[in-house]
Amino acid sequence: MKLDDKVAVVSGGGSGFGRAMSLLYAKEGAKVVVSDIISERGEETIDLITKDGGEAIFIKADASSASDNEKLIKQTVDHYGRLDIAFNNAGIGGSSAPIGEYPVEAWDKIIAVNLSSVFYGMRFQIPQMLKNGGGVIVNMASILGQVGFAGACGYVAAKHGVVGLTKNVALEYGKQGIRANSVGPGFVETNLTHDLIENKDAYDFLVYKHPMGRLGKVDEIVDLVLWLSSDRASFCNGGYYTVDGGYLAK
């Protein structure tokens, strides 16, 4: 087991990458705190973990709320006594429109859920990790954290911001035992991706953008997150790691 007795917090743990990562953390020996805004989904993840012999609890929290993030870490420490790993994963796709037509309300929401949530998470994770003598943070970015995508200004801006925040953590806390890295998946078969795809032509266009001729799979992403969360990645800090089927090579 790579993560025996580590305590890991996962935001957006009720579905997609968050659920898959919660299951993988538990399989590798971690005690997992699953956080999600939808209780039913979070509890489903807990059931899957415990049925497989893992240990986990669910804490309902809105990732875009500073107070909920503070509560999440407090309750985690109250229950397990420490925090070793944080996977800041919660996110939404947002509206699709050119910048000159992008709804202001949609901008505010996607920045709150996809970017402010990462800041709020780390704002309360880092002080606790310092008390433990260190820890590991993995933030879910995207290939759109490096390039643009027409019609998705909110998502692109948020994910660029996630990459930048992650680099700052490495600069500010590396000597104190905290590692932070971001992961940039290409387009992957998830509910979020399907929300972004309006029709078959759009889907085929996304496939074309990946030289491998297909979209990614969730398991292909979470294996990288697991490695970055483990001691095997002990010299990786401040990095932005893409898993994109060659998307950025074009």
Burial class (CB in 10 A: 0-12, 13-18, 19+), 170: middle
At CA 39, angle to CA 27 and CA 115, rounded to 5? 80
Question: Can you read off the two tokens belonging to residue 102?
Answer: 């992008």
Per annotation, catalytic residue among 155, 173, 240, 247: 155
Give catalytic status of residue 155 as yes or no: yes
Whole-angstrom distance, CA of residue 11 vs CA of residue 57? 12
CA distance 135 to 6: 10
Residues noted as catalytic: 155
